[in-house]
Amino acid sequence: MPLTSVLARLGRAGSRAAGLHGPVERPGEHLRMHAYYRFLLLRWIGTVGALLIGVAGLGAGALPVVDNPYRHLPLGDVMSRMLQTSSSLVLLGVGLLVLAWVLMWRYVGERSVTTGALKRTLAAWTLPILFTAPLFTQDIYSYLAQGAIVAEDMDPYSAGPVQLLGTGHPLARSVPFIWAESPSPYGPVALSVAAAISVVTDNSIVLGVLVHRFINVVSLIGAGWAVSRLAQRCGVRPATALWLGLLNPLTLLHLVGGIHNEAILLGLLLIGMEIGLRGIDRLSSSRNGWGLLVAASALITCAGLVKVTGFIGLGFLGMALARHLHVRGRNPVVAIGIGAAFMTVALVVTTVIVSVISGIGYGWITGQGGAATIRSWMSVTTAIGVTAGALGEALGLGDHTEAILTITRSVGILVAGALIVRMLFATFRGTIHPVGGLGVGTFVLVILFPVVHPWYMLWAILPLATWANRSFFRVAVVGYSAAMSFFVLPRGLALPAPTVITIYGWAIVAGIIVIGLGWWILRRARVIT
C-alpha cells in the first residue's frame, strides 16, 4: 500500500476513533484499523531503513580486499569512495529498522496484524538487503574460499585457505587474516553447500555472495514455517513469535546481511523439531510416526553438521520420544535408553551418509578449537579469564592469562553441559516443553561459550520465541537485539577511533534530524497527537 494512502487512512481512522467526525458506530473496528495502519506505517519506516542499508552497504560493507567487484555496480563506486558517509548511512538505516521493529511490539498482538502481514513485512525488509555487499563481517569470504577448496577435492580440515588455494588466489586473498591459515571449523553440510555454490558460480564473488544469501533466506523461510507451528504448540501467538525471531534486526542484519550460516543451522534445527514432534503426536494417537522421527533426526543431525551446536536438538527430541514411551508404560530407564539409542543411530548413520556423498572427511570433529583463539569480550568465561590474568600480571605474578582462560572456559562448558542435562530430564518429566528446554539450554551455552558474537544469541532467541510467553523475556530480547544491532561496524573490521567516532556521530545527528522531521510530518497529518 502506498505510503500516502497509509498516512491518509491513519489520519481518518485516528479522527474517527477520537470522535472528530461525529459518533463512532463501531469503535472497536476503527481502533483495530487504526492499529493496522500504524503497523503499515512502521513497515514503511523499516523498509526505508533497509533501503539505506542496501544502497550504502555497496560502499560501507565488508568489501573484498582486492579487485572489489562492487565498484562496478550502480552507486557502488560513489559509496565506496565515501566510507565514513556510507557507514553512517548504514547505521542510520539500522536505526530506522530497529525503531520500526521495536514499535511494532504494540501492534503484533492485534487481530488485524496477521502472520501474513508479518511475512510481507519480512519480505519488504529483506529484499533491499538481499542484493547489497556483505555486511558487518568478512566471514563470507571464508565460506567462498572453503567452498572452492572442497570443489577442488582438497581437504578443508588439513590447512587454511592461503596454504591450500595459494596466496595469489582471489578468494584466499579476501579471507580475514585471522582465518587465512586456519582449517575449516564447519561441518560437511555447510561445506557441501559452499562447494556447490563454488561450482555453480565459477568462484565469482558477487554471484557467490548472492547465492549464499539466497540460501540463507530460504532457510529462514523454513525456520519461519517451523516457528509458527511450534508457537501454536506452546500456546504462543505465531505472529508474536515471528516478530520476535524472524523480524528481529539481528536476524536481518547478520543472517541476511552478514550471511552467517546460522541461518541454515536454525532452519534445519527448527524444521526438524516440528517434524519430530509431529511424529510423536502420531505415535500418541496410535499411528505410525517413526518415519517422521527418522526424517526429523536426520534434519537435526544436518543442522549439527553445519555447526556442532545443532546436535543439542537431538537430545531434546530424544527425551520427548522417551517421555512418550514412558507415558505408554515403559520403564523410565528403558524409555530413555531407547530415545538415546534412536538419536545416536540417526546421528551416526546421517553423518556417514553425508560424509560419503560429499566426500568430506571427519576433520570437523577435532577442528572445533580454532575459534577459541579469539578473545571475545561478550563471553563471560573469557572476560573473567582475561580480567583475572590482567590482575595477576598487575600484582607481579606474571602473565598466566592463557592458563586461566583454559580453566574458566572449561568450567563454563561444564556448567552449561550440566544445565543442558537438567533441561533434558525436565523434558522427560514433562515440566518443560522440548522446545523450551532447547532454548534455555542453548541460551546458557551461549552465555558461557568461549567465543560469543552478537548473532549467536539467535541460537536461543528463535526457539525461545516459540515458547517463552512472559513480558520479561521479550523485553530482554528487544533490549539486547536493539543494542547489539549497533555494536558492529558495517565493514566488520576495526577502524581508527576518530573514524569510528565520526561514523557514529554523523549517524546520530542524521537520526535525530530524520526522526524529528518524521515526527513533525506525522503530527501535521494528524497521524499522532
Tens of pLDDT, residues 351-382: 999 999 988 888 877 765 555 566 667 778 88
Does residue 91 fall inside a structural domain? yes
pLDDT at 18: 42
Distance, in Å, from the CA atom of 108 to the CA atom of 426, rounded to the nearest integer, reads: 31
User: pLDDT tier at 10 (50, 70, 90 boundaries)?
Assistant: low
Q: What confidence score (pLDDT) does residue 11 get? A: 53
- Supply the pLDDT for residue 287: 79
Does position 72 have pLDDT exceeding 70, yes or no?
Answer: no
In a domain, 143, yes or no: no
Instruction: Judge whether 505 lies within some domain.
Output: yes
Q: Is the pLDDT of residue 212 over 90?
A: yes
* Nearest in space to 376 (alpha carbons), one of 341, 353, 405: 405
Task: Compare 14 and 457 and report the one with higher pLDDT.
Answer: 457
Phi, psi of 312 (to 5 degrees): -60, -35
436 located within any domain? no
- Domain ranges, residue 506: 3-135+494-524
Average per-residue pLDDT in the chain? 85
Query: What average pLDDT score do residues 473-495 get?
Result: 88
The three cell numbers locating residue 125: 525488509
- The residue whose grid cell reads 525471531 is 245
pLDDT tens, 119-153? 999 999 999 999 998 999 888 999 999 999 999 88
516 within a domain of the structure (yes/no) = yes
User: What does the DSSP assignment read for 4-23?
Assistant: HHHHHHHHHHHHHHHTTTS-
| Triad 96, 212, 147: Cα angle to 5° | 140
**What totals of helices (H) and strands (E) does the chain contain, helices first?**
22, 0
pTM: 0.88
- 395 belongs to a structural domain: no
Q: Is the pLDDT of residue 13 over 70?
A: no
CA dist., res. 315 & res. 434, Å (int): 9
Spatial separation of the C-alpha atoms in residues 482 and 49, rounded to whole Å: 14
Please count the structural domains in the chain.
1
Identify whether 248 is part of a domain: no
CA–CA distance, 320 with 430 (Å, rounded to integer): 9
Q: pLDDT exceeding 90 applies to what percent of the chain?
A: 48
The answer to whether residue 433 sits within a structural domain is no
